[in-house]
C-alpha cells in the first residue's frame, strides 16, 4: 500500500525510537535541537554501514589511505579553506516574533513561517561552531569544530606522501563527525548540527579530472545499490554554476526522494587544486622529479542521511484482514541484528537450554545475534520483523528428538516472505554466511 509521505515519516521516527535505533538528543532535558542519539540498534546499523563503506573504498583497494584526524583544527585551516569567509547561510529574523529562519527555506520568501509577518533583510550567518582552547578566553584561543572532514585529509596530504610515497592517482578516506550550526535543523536526522561524514579526497592530475569524476560517480551509484537505498528514488542533479561551493568547478548531487521531498543525499565535487594550493602543499613525482599541485575529486557521503535513506527504502507494510505486519527489509549485510534465536516456549528448560546453545554458537560466529524469548512466538516474529532481522531460528520439541527424524534440526524463518525452512543445526552457520556473502 502506498504510504502518505508525512505518515511514513512519522512511522519511521516512531519505530526508530520504540525499537532503539534513534532517540532525540538530551531528551530528558527537553531535547537539544539538531542533535540525535543512536541507540543500540542504531549503532549497530551505523557500524555496519561504516564497515561496508571502509571495506569498499579503502580495504578492497590499493590506492587509498585511511585518516582519522582531530575534530579541533588550527583556525588557519579554516581561513585557508575559505570557510571563515564563505561558509555561510542567509539568515533572516522576523520583524515581529523575532524567530530566525534560513531565508532560502521559508515557505514564502520574506514572510515569517511562524507568524506570517515580514522578515528583515537577510544577512550571512557563518555555520561553524566556535570554541576556545586552553585557559585563555580571547580571540587568539578561538578554534572551530570542523564543518567537514575533508580538511583533515588535505592538511595530512604531505604526511601521507612522506610516509607511503604513493603514485598519483591515489586517495585518502575518512569517516568522522562534522558540526554545522544549522539555522533550522529539521526533518529528523536529515539536517542536524552534529553528524557524520564518510569522505574521499582522490588526488589526480588535472588532465584526468573528467574521467575520474565519471569513475567516482559510478562508484557512488554502486554503493547506493549495494546498501539497499532505493535506486528508483535516487536522482542525479548537475549543480548550477551559481550554486557551486566556493571550491568546486563541478558538482553533481545525488538526491533522494525523502518523504519530505527530493533532497541532497550525497555529492561529488571536482575541487580542482583549490585546497592544496591554499595550504601550500605540493607533490613531487619521485621518478620525474616533476613538482605539481594535484587536483582532487571528492565523493562525499553523509552517514546520517544514508541511514535515513536506507530506513525510508526498506520500510514495508503488509496488510492482511485487520492485521498489519511492518518490517524493515534491510540487506542482511546492513541489518543491525543478523539472526534471532528463540525457544518455542520459554517455560520449558530443555528448549531454553538447547536454544542458548544454538544462540552462543551463532553469536560467536556472527556477533550481531539476539536471544529472544519475550512473549509468544508470533510476537517475537513481529518484533524481529520490525527491527529488520533477516532470520529467526526456533528450537522446538522436534529439535530435541520428539520426532527422531528431526533431531537436532531447527526452523529458520525468512523475514521478507515469512517462509520457514527446517535445517540441521550444523548447517545454520553456512546457510547464513552464504546468504550474507
Judged on CB neighbours under 10 Å (0-12, 13-18, 19+), 91 is buried
101 Cα distance to chain centroid: 26
Nearer to ligand GAP, 265 or 412 (CB): 265
Nearer to ligand GAP, 35 or 326 (CB): 35
* Residue 269 Cβ vs ligand GAP, minimum distance, rounded to whole Å: 7
Which three cell numbers mark 203? 588526488
Nearer to ligand GAP, 46 or 415 (CB): 46
Which three cell numbers mark 274? 583549490
Q: Which residue has the cell 516456549?
A: 345
Q: Which of 38, 48, 182, 344 binds ligand GAP (CB under 6 A)?
A: 182
Per CB under 6 A, the segment of 22-30, 188-196, 277-285, 334-342 that binds ligand GAP is: 188-196
Which three cell numbers mark 434? 552464504
285 Cα distance to chain centroid: 36
Per CB under 6 A, the segment of 10-18, 255-263, 264-272, 323-331 that binds ligand GAP is: 264-272
* Residue 298 Cβ vs ligand GAP, minimum distance, rounded to whole Å: 6
Nearer to ligand GAP, 170 or 254 (CB): 254
Q: Which of 19, 83, 146, 180 binds ligand GAP (CB under 6 A)?
A: 180
Sign of CA dihedral 374, 376, 377, 378: negative
CA pair distance 381, 383, nearest whole angstrom: 5
Nearer to ligand GAP, 72 or 407 (CB): 72
**Whether 34 contacts 141, CB under 8 Å:** no
378 Cα distance to chain centroid: 32
Beta partners for residue 116, in sequence order = none
Say whether residue 264 binds ligand GAP (CB under 6 A).
Answer: yes
What is the length of the chain?
A: 437
Residues 266-325 within binding reach of ligand GAP (CB under 6 A): 266-267, 298, 300, 302, 304-305
Nearer to ligand GAP, 265 or 358 (CB): 265
Q: Nearest to residue 326, comparing CAs of 6, 16, 5?
A: 16
Which three cell numbers mark 428? 545454520
Nearer to ligand GAP, 10 or 243 (CB): 243
Q: Which of 78, 195, 330, 381 binds ligand GAP (CB under 6 A)?
A: 195
Say whether residue 354 binds ligand GAP (CB under 6 A).
Answer: no
* Residue 78 Cβ vs ligand GAP, minimum distance, rounded to whole Å: 13
Say whether residue 332 binds ligand GAP (CB under 6 A).
Answer: no
**Whether 214 contacts 196, CB under 8 Å:** no
> What is the SS3 assignment for 373-435?
CCCCHHHHHHHHHHHCCCEEEEECCCCCCCCHHHCCEEEEEECCCCCEEEEEHHHHHHHHHHH
Nearer to ligand GAP, 250 or 325 (CB): 250
Per CB under 6 A, the segment of 65-73, 105-113, 263-271, 360-368 that binds ligand GAP is: 263-271
* Residue 11 Cβ vs ligand GAP, minimum distance, rounded to whole Å: 21
- Site residues for ligand GAP per CB under 6 A: 148, 150, 180, 182, 191-192, 195, 197, 199, 264-267, 298, 300, 302, 304-305
Amino acid at each position: 500500500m502506498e504510504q502518505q509521505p508525512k505518515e511514513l515519516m512519522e512511522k519511521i521516527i516512531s519505530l526508530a525510537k520504540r525499537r532503539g535505533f534513534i532517540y532525540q538528543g538530551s531528551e530528558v532535558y527537553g531535547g537539544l535541537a539538531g542533535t540525535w542519539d543512536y541507540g543500540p540498534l542504531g549503532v549497530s546499523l551505523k557500524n555496519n554501514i561504516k564497515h561496508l563503506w571502509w571495506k569498499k573504498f579503502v580495504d578492497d583497494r590499493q590506492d587509498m589511505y585511511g585518516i582519522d584526524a582531530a575534530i579541533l583544527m588550527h583556525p588557519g585551516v579554516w581561513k585557508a579553506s575559505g570557510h571563515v569567509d564563505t561558509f555561510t547561510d542567509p539568515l533572516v529574523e522576523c520583524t515581529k516574533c523575532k524567530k530566525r529562519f534560513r531565508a532560502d527555506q521559508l515557505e514564502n520568501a520574506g514572510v515569517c513561517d511562524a507568524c506570517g509577518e515580514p522578515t528583515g533583510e537577510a544577512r550571512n550567518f557563518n555555520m561553524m561552531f566556535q570554541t576556545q582552547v586552553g585557559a585563555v578566553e580571547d580571540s587568539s584561543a578561538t578554534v572551530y569544530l570542523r564543518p567537514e572532514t575533508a580538511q583533515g585529509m588535505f592538511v595530512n596530504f604531505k604526511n601521507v606522501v612522506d610516509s607511503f610515497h604513493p603514485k598519483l592517482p591515489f586517495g585518502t578516506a575518512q569517516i568522522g563527525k562534522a558540526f554545522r550550526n544549522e539555522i533550522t535543523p529539521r526533518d529528523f536526522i536529515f539536517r542536524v548540527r552534529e553528524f557524520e561524514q564518510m569522505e574521499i579526497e582522490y588526488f589526480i592530475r588535472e588532465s584526468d579530472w573528467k574521467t575520474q569524476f565519471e569513475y567516482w560517480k559510478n562508484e557512488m551509484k554502486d554503493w547506493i545499490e549495494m546498501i539497499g537505498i532505493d535506486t528508483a528514488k535516487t536522482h542525479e542533479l548537475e549543480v548550477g554554476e551559481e550554486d557551486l561551493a566556493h571550491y568546486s568547478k563541478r558538482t553533481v548531487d545525488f538526491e533522494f526522494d525523502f518523504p519530505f521531498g527530493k533532497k541532497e543525499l550525497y555529492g561529488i565535487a571536482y575541487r580542482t587544486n583549490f585546497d592544496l594550493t591554499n595550504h601550500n602543499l605540493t607533490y613531487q613525482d619521485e621518478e620525474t622529479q616533476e613538482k605539481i599541485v594535484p587536483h582532487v575529486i571528492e565523493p562525499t557521503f553523509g552517514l546520517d542521511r544514508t541511514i535515513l535513506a536506507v530506513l525510508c527504502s526498506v520500510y514495508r507494510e503488509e496488510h492482511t484482514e485487520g492485521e498489519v505486519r511492518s518490517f524493515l527489509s534491510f540487506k542482511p549485510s546492513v541489518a543491525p541484528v543478523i539472526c534471532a534465536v528463540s525457544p518455542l516456549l520459554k517455560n520449558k528448560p530443555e528448549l531454553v537450554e538447547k536454544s542458548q546453545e544454538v544462540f552462543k554458537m551463532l553469536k560467536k560466529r556472527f556477533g550481531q545475534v539476539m536471544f529472544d524469548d519475550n512473549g509468544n512466538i508470533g510476537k517475537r516474529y513481529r518484533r524481529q520483523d520490525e527491527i529488520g532481522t533477516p532470520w529467526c531460528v526456533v528450537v522446538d520439541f522436534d529439535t530435541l528428538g520428539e520426532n527422531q527424524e528431526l533431531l537436532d534440526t531447527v526452523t529458520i524463518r525468512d523475514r521478507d516472505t515469512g517462509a520457514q525452512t527446517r535445517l540441521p543445526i550444523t548447517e545454520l552457520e553456512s546457510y547464513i554466511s552464504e546468504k550474507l556473502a
